[in-house]
Amino acid sequence: MDALAKINVKKTLVFILLLAIMGAGLLIYNNCFRAREAGRDQGLTATGTLEATKVMASFKVPGKLEKVAAEGSQVKLGQEIASLESQEIHSDLVTAQGAYEASVNQARQAGEAVTLTSQQVENTIAQGQAKVAQAEIGVNDAKLTLDRATELYNSGAISKKSLDDATNAHALAQRKLEEAQAGLNQALDARLNVQVAQSQYQAAQGQVKQAGGAVQKAQAYLDNTHLLSPMDGFVTQKYLEPGEMLNAGTPVLEISDLAHTFVNVYISEDKIGRVQLNQAAEITVASFPGQVFPGKVVAISDAGEFAVKKAINEQYEHDLRSFKVKIDVPNPDLKLKTGMTAQVKIVEEAR
């Protein structure tokens, strides 16, 4: 009997142990289920990092840094924030301007030469035409005189000498006409000089354009020695100091728009349908416990990412995708700092 009793006791203990294990399992499952459901009831909440729009400001041209804004200084759009030494570039500009002015004078003189040459040639042609016309009249008169003299000589009314004189006068008139015609032809040929002058004027105009381009290039180079702020903001990084040499495109300053911060959060696909553009959001940070900073949804990604790649506080739905949502957070008093961890709650209307 004692052995049997011991066996029964052991069986009872094993049974009680099994019941305890089952009860503990049920309790753990129930707690996990409740925690999961509680997480689902938290609404549209997520965690992200505060950021700000940043621009790396750099020169378009190489040179030696002369001045640079101090780190932490506030700057406005278009404000000069750095400059390069520019004495040599300024000298190049003066040289280019001098060459431009010289080319303009040459073009002006070439233009005046075209007008003067054209006037001279046309006047000479007009004179030549007048001489030819006069010579033609002389030839006609001499021909009439010769014809009369020939008739009179044939009739015996005049002597052979009178006929010879009329013949010589006609020949002289012919030579004068030929000379006048040759002079007119020479004047007409001189019109080529006008074309040459016009070509020289066009070439001078081309030199003016070329010299003007050199001035614009030198002026642009000089302008590019002044680095202007690309936006309103603050100097958050200074990479170079005055006196250092730099190449074109080398970052000099980082400008950040700290007055307009933002935070990117990731919302799972089972909740993203509840997020809309311009939807209000509430942001809190550890540095200011109890203070809520207003925000607004300004962008919603069209493409999802795997939840396991982003921290979206969803411990049980890693098989779902998440979508990036950008929240604009105005920061006029500059309380918020980039890099702060932000707790975000997207406000939903009561249903």
Q: What does the pLDDT read at residue 11?
A: 62
> The tokens of 142 are what?
């001499």
The first and second tokens of residue 333, run together, are 């008093």
Under the banding of pLDDT at 50, 70 and 90, the label for residue 80 is very high
Task: Give the DSSP letter of residue 302.
Answer: S
Lowest mean pLDDT among 42-56, 70-84, 306-320: 306-320
Topology at the third CATH level for domain 56-81+225-246: OB fold (Dihydrolipoamide Acetyltransferase, E2P) (2.40.50)
Backbone phi, psi, residue 155, to 5°: -90, -5
State percent of the chain over pLDDT 70. 84
Q: What SS3 class is residue 323? A: strand
Predicted confidence (pLDDT) per residue in 164-175, tens digit: 888 998 999 899
47-51, 142-146, 304-308: which has the highest mean pLDDT? 47-51
For residue 335, which phi and psi values (nearest 5 degrees)? Answer: -65, -40
Instruction: Write phi, then psi, for 120 (nearest 5 degrees).
Output: -60, -45
**What's the mean per-residue pLDDT of the chain?**
86
CA distance 192 to 197: 9
**pTM of the model as a whole:** 0.63
Residue 4 — very low, low, confident or very high, per pLDDT cuts 50/70/90? low
Domain boundaries, given as residue ranges, for the chain:
1-41, 56-81+225-246, 89-223
pLDDT value, residue 306 = 61
Residue 156 to residue 296: CA distance in whole angstroms: 129
Residue 96 in contact with residue 261, Cβ under 8 Å? no
Residue predicted with more confidence, 333 or 7: 333
What does the alpha-carbon distance between residue 68 and residue 288 come to, in Å, rounded to a whole number?
Answer: 34
Q: What are the structure tokens assigned to 349, written together?
A: 């209307």
In this prediction, residue 42 has a pLDDT band, given cuts at 50, 70 and 90, of: low
* Amino acid occupying residue 348: E
Give the per-residue pLDDT at 35.
43
Within the chain, strands assigned E span: 45-58, 63-68, 74-75, 80-84, 226-228, 233-238, 245-246, 251-268, 280-285, 293-300, 305-306, 321-330, 341-346
pLDDT at 104 over 90: yes
How much is the pLDDT for 188? 85
pLDDT score recorded for residue 33: 46
The pLDDT of 98-122, averaged and rounded, is: 91
Q: pLDDT digit string (tens) for 301-322? A: 988 776 544 444 555 444 578 8
Q: What's the pLDDT score for residue 5? A: 60
What is the predicted pLDDT for the residue at 166? 87
| Nearest residue to 346 (alpha-carbon basis) of 255, 268, 254, 256 | 268
Q: Indicate the pLDDT class of residue 213, thresholds 50, 70 and 90.
A: very high
pLDDT at residue 125 is higher than 90 = no
pLDDT of residue 128: 87
∠ CA(291), CA(295), CA(299), 5° rounding?
A: 150
Q: What is the CATH number of domain 89-223?
A: 1.10.287.620
